[in-house]
Structure 1
Amino acid sequence: MLTKRLAACAALVTEGGVVCDVGTDHAYLPAELLRQNRCPRAVVTDIHAGPLEAARRTLTETGVLARAELLLCDGLEQVLPEGITDVVVAGMGGETIVHILENCPWRAQVHLILQPMTKLPVLRQWLAKNGFDWTEQVVSEGGKFYVVLDVRSAAAPQPLTLLEQEVGRIDWQEPCASAYASWKLKRFQKLAQQLKQAGVPEYSLWESLVEETAAKLGRNPR
């Protein structure tokens, strides 16, 4: 049984495709996709030997080890792209995900499913600058919000507004996404107030973001 955030990632994987799970840890996601026969084959990577051995145990216990390739490497460095349709990078910081993608020359050839734990604006900026387009969904689990990005290569670099950078390309009408945006709004309000009190000129930028976020939510920003 996958967690909500991993289930959201798994649901985006191409039916009948070959998935590469980067930083797999216990390989719960690829094991479930193989068990359900959603994917005929999976490539599993981790930078540390311990998690990769844990992944091997999970795949063995699930009875799908024969259909998985395990690689001890940093990100996608040893992964051959032939046949791979989807790359999942979940549970890492946004800057780490950027590092992994920057070192992958075939990143634009596949469907990317990204679930950053931190530094989401950094990742969004990088994706927009490097010619990717994406949508986002938000899931809530254990009192926390998790954002899953469904990413594909675009014809040209994508313009990114400050609102998209900080809140994301979400469905504002979806209840969980709306709750996430409301949580972000409170953070923006607090930051704008702190910067204003400190006399930092950038406070006006965050006040504008408060106004725009509140408008999207149909609320009074005050």
Structure 2
Amino acid sequence: MNEFDIKKIGKRIADARKALNMTQMELADKLYVSFQAVSNWERGQSIPDLERLTTLCTVFDLTLDQLIRNDAVVQPIAKLSSTVTNDFLSMRDLVDTAPFLKPQEIDSYIDKVTDFPFDQIICLAPFITETTLSFLVEKAQSQEKIQQEHFFKLAPFMNTSQFDGLVCQYLNEGGRFSSYDELLPFVKSETRIQVVHSSNRESF
């Protein structure tokens, strides 16, 4: 979502609040947030999360589509909402909606996911806890072989010990790293030696 879209949503929030003759503080109290948060929304500095958007719709007596009017936001949320009653959910749907969900909300959908591609998990990584990420990586490994490039993208988000174990497992199974500078800060000192040695073997 670009800055222009966020500012348009902020204006709609402000217009709806003013139509109800409410102050920012009064709206903030209904949402259990600070009035500064409401001010930031209305100025287009940030956007409410999914829970707050739902509450705003209730307060303003508007639909999500009326409040947001942005396909990039409405369609993923609507799609996720329409599938939560099913027994399964695609990782793609969850990734599309993740920016508008809290980590705990994402966790509540995880058990409905049946596909675990590494590329999608990497996209989801910034929005979930280390515990959830480790769980998803383990699931992904049962469906596909982890590739060298996956490590560099997962490193900033995984628990250090679990990531170190993942690297060691990869090396013990014959994996190699053709480059390693970005990887070394995320593994233990003894693992760094193995990573460098694997790179040296790769060069021969």
The TM-score with structure 1 as length reference comes to 0.34
Q: Which structure has the highest strand share of the two?
A: 1
The answer to which structure, 1 or 2, has the higher relative contact order (CA under 8 A, 6+ apart) is: 1
Q: Which has the larger radius of gyration?
A: 2
The TM-score with structure 2 as length reference comes to 0.36
Q: Which structure has the highest helix share of the two?
A: 2
